[in-house]
Chains A and B, each alone.
Chain A
């Protein structure tokens, strides 16, 4: 009697075993070369820095404490680490502003693409995608060229007599903001477009039919329907902005640091690997928190789509 069910069970067990075997190479590579080493970083964050970089295998919570506080060299008291806090603040502030700027500009852009006729829509979409797949460093370099003192923006400003001297834009927070917004703009537009493309414009017609004007239709119908795209785009821009390294390095010129550059500093000139490790873990924690919030949001929406 049991033979039939035994066969069924054996076949299912074999299927699952095969699936584990098939996915093993990918999982092992990711474990060894991406996720696994994070545990080492975690361990390092509790060790004592060595004199010439690396660590001494001795437990110390100092690295974690100095994420936010600093010890006075003379009397040994702890106070808020203003330098660290300002870098944290700059990272979060610039990431938020980048998100906002790309959202404000990306929303009309995505809407524009979504309302093009079917044939030309793909071309517009392609034009947005191209910069996304071209090298981030090159795009940052391109921005650098445009805003440098001898760049075309300043040439235009002085040439037309708006200013008599070039405005120093490079190596400022503004430069970093501009660069981040420039390089991550496609990441905002693409999810926005994805949600707008699905909008049923008969709903918009219904809105006009019920005496809404253009602004009210936008605010009460289009924006709420595009909300999943707004959230996804914001997350997609905020997360890489927060961990940005190349853009602030090139456009901030080593003067204006963001978290990514500050972490690098600890492994370079700073020679404080444990602090670099604890800062990395902090960055990771913030990013994961943002992701979980996003997943929570989408899961709730998914459970009650028409709510």
Chain B
């Protein structure tokens, strides 16, 4: 791993978590190591059961690791109970106290920390203003909408000025429109407060649009860490490529290696350059991924990288998907943006060619 110039807020070293024991043991986290930097919006992305929430709960202190250490600004926080960690959580269900008003909910953490009453009052007003809820301070939490509850949960967790804010799928209960608004809101809050956010989600679009960096998890392991562009354009593993966005997988033959790129022969014989995530010896068959929007469909198959027959055209409004059945029998999808000028130059059943943009192919670590 290269040396990081930024200060790490959280260092996770070789953390494992096993639930149960003996034959019923379930490995929820398997030797996870991770650095989260100061002031970054970091996302843990993965399908349900991948261990992302378990990792979040370990950081919050609701659960304790079976192995490994968790450091906050260099201090080992593993032995600390949750109420002694300067870390706050926004829960998936919000977990707002139903017997308290909005204001009392926000004040709760500050009261527990024993802050003076006047300071608490000021801080609560500040937080209400921050989430634009000043008018609802005295409402009971059951009397406000889902989006408003979400804001109260955020304000409550931010009020004690934690070092790190943990967010456990906080947007999953909201409808589409509200979710979009809250995504922008969350980015704004993170910017204004300067607190490190660790965000857990299974929604890849949410992860790509909001994160500074993200980690893709599966079966208790971290598969890849990077910024959204790296993760999307240069997936290192089949799972990452498949989980995030639509993808074409091709089997290719390595024919040569040169400065970080490999020359591979595609099915059908055409040779292209494919990118590698890391330098290593390669030979024989490899898997190559190409994003649908990185390929172009042409009516003249001559000189194209792949040849096939157009099986299906699916119109999506902003763009159109072309399903091409290759000579090998595999389906390859090409995405093309629609413009006012574009006409239906292709028709289902005809022979077509596919041209891959330079640097669009990526070899997977298998």
Smallest CB separation, B183 vs chain A (Å): 35
A245 to B60: give the CA distance in the assembly, Å.
Answer: 58
Smallest CB separation, B76 vs chain A (Å): 9
* Interface bracket on A: under 10
Partner of A11, one of B64, B67, B68: B64
B79 interface hit (Cβ, 8 Å):
yes
Smallest CB separation, A7 vs chain B (Å): 5
A1 to B65: give the CA distance in the assembly, Å.
Answer: 11
Which residues of A pack against B, CB within 8 Å? 1, 3-5, 7-8, 11
Q: Which residue, A1, A4, A7, has most C-beta atoms of chain B within 10 A?
A: A4
B66 interface hit (Cβ, 8 Å):
yes
Q: Which residue, B15, B69, B79, has most C-beta atoms of chain A within 10 A?
A: B79
User: Inside 8 A of B68's CB, which chain A residues have their CB?
Assistant: 4
Q: Tell me if B's interface is mostly helix, strand, loop or mixed.
A: loop
Name which residue of chain B comes closest to A8, CB basis.
Answer: B64
**Top 4 closest pairs, chain A to chain B, by CB:** A8-B64, A4-B65, A5-B66, A7-B64
Name which residue of chain A comes closest to B69, CB basis.
Answer: A4
User: Inside 8 A of B66's CB, which chain A residues have their CB?
Assistant: 4-5, 8
A5 to B21: give the CA distance in the assembly, Å.
Answer: 12
A1 to B78: give the CA distance in the assembly, Å.
Answer: 12
Question: How would residues 63 to 84 of chain B score, 1 for a CB under 8 Å from any chain A CB and 0 otherwise?
Answer: 0111111000000001100000
User: Inside 8 A of A5's CB, which chain B residues have their CB?
Assistant: 65-67
Smallest CB separation, A207 vs chain B (Å): 39
Smallest CB separation, A250 vs chain B (Å): 47
A175 to B65: give the CA distance in the assembly, Å.
Answer: 67
User: Inside 8 A of A8's CB, which chain B residues have their CB?
Assistant: 64-66
20 contacts between A and B (CB under 8 A): A1-B67, A3-B78, A3-B79, A4-B15, A4-B64, A4-B65, A4-B66, A4-B67, A4-B68, A4-B69, A5-B65, A5-B66, A5-B67, A7-B64, A7-B78, A7-B79, A8-B64, A8-B65, A8-B66, A11-B64
Smallest CB separation, A59 vs chain B (Å): 47
Smallest CB separation, B235 vs chain A (Å): 32
Smallest CB separation, B79 vs chain A (Å): 6
A4 to B68: give the CA distance in the assembly, Å.
Answer: 6
User: Inside 8 A of A11's CB, which chain B residues have their CB?
Assistant: 64
User: Inside 8 A of A7's CB, which chain B residues have their CB?
Assistant: 64, 78-79
A11 to B66: give the CA distance in the assembly, Å.
Answer: 12
A8 to B57: give the CA distance in the assembly, Å.
Answer: 13
Name which residue of chain A comes closest to B15, CB basis.
Answer: A4
Smallest CB separation, B2 vs chain A (Å): 27
Question: How would residues 158 to 190 of chain B score, 1 for a CB under 8 Å from any chain A CB and 0 otherwise?
Answer: 000000000000000000000000000000000
A4 to B70: give the CA distance in the assembly, Å.
Answer: 10
A1 to B68: give the CA distance in the assembly, Å.
Answer: 7
Name which residue of chain A comes closest to B64, CB basis.
Answer: A8
Smallest CB separation, A41 vs chain B (Å): 42
A7 to B77: give the CA distance in the assembly, Å.
Answer: 12
Smallest CB separation, B10 vs chain A (Å): 16
A11 to B63: give the CA distance in the assembly, Å.
Answer: 10
Smallest CB separation, A2 vs chain B (Å): 9
User: Inside 8 A of B65's CB, which chain A residues have their CB?
Assistant: 4-5, 8
A157 to B78: give the CA distance in the assembly, Å.
Answer: 83
User: Inside 8 A of A1's CB, which chain B residues have their CB?
Assistant: 67
Smallest CB separation, B112 vs chain A (Å): 21
Name which residue of chain A comes closest to B78, CB basis.
Answer: A4
Name which residue of chain B comes closest to A12, CB basis.
Answer: B64
Known: A5-B67, A7-B64; 13 extra A-B contacts, CB below 8 A, are A1-B67, A3-B69, A3-B78, A4-B64, A4-B65, A4-B66, A4-B69, A4-B78, A5-B65, A7-B78, A7-B79, A8-B64, A8-B65
